[in-house]
Amino acid sequence: GVWGSWWAAAVHEPRKPAPPLRLWLGSSRGAMIEQFVNFVIRPPRAEYNPDQYLWEPEFTLAGRKYKRIDLELSNERNQTLKCSHYVPAIIPENTALPCVIYCHGNSGCRADANEAAVILLPSNITLFALDFAGSGLSGGEYVSLGWHEVHIHY
């Protein structure tokens, strides 16, 4: 149907988009739905400077020292995903700490996880945040709502 064709075009083959919805649904109604679809798969991109909007590479919170480790991962489409892992500055040897993976919203980015760090880090819970493909500073033109982040390569 219409939505199946759109989903195949938007998620599986973004370089070969389906014909405009206005051709299927009539000019004005189809154009409005097409704008909505584009808003979902191409939301306003959160562009930011990591030096201004992420925690410092080394910082103090509630009297304890922590660090931000930046790294890049690749999804199954070989798009680069920008990530940050927030951990205590010193972790005792052979100590495993729990980790929360922060998944931002549709037009968000990993900087949205800053507030979670304030709660999690003092509780000895590490925090991993990433910009999904098509979001923030990660590669990709389209947002797949996590579809292509299922298989991450590191």
Section 26-54 average pLDDT: 75
- Quick one: CA dihedral 75, 149, 135, 129, positive or negative? negative
Q: Which fold does the domain 50-149 belong to in CATH?
A: Rossmann fold (3.40.50)
Give the pLDDT of residue 8.
44
Give the pLDDT of residue 58.
97
> Which band of pLDDT confidence, cut at 50, 70 and 90, is reported for residue 17?
low
Q: Is the pTM of this model over 0.95?
A: no
Tens of pLDDT along 101-150?
A: 999 988 889 999 999 999 999 999 999 999 998 899 999 887 766 666 66
CA 92 – CA 83 distance, rounded (Å): 24
The domain segmentation of the chain, as residue ranges, is 2-41, 50-149
Q: Which residues touch 87 (CB under 8 Å, ≥6 apart)?
A: 66, 67, 69, 97, 126
Environment class of 21 (CB within 10 Å of its CB; exposed 0-12, middle 13-18, buried 19+)? buried
> Which band of pLDDT confidence, cut at 50, 70 and 90, is reported for residue 12?
very low
Tens of pLDDT along 67-84?
A: 999 999 998 889 999 999
Section 1-21 average pLDDT: 46
Give the residue with greater pLDDT, 10 vs 89: 89
pLDDT exceeds cutoff 90 at 35: no
Hey, what amino acid is at 16?
Answer: K
pLDDT exceeds cutoff 90 at 9: no
Give the pLDDT of residue 143.
76
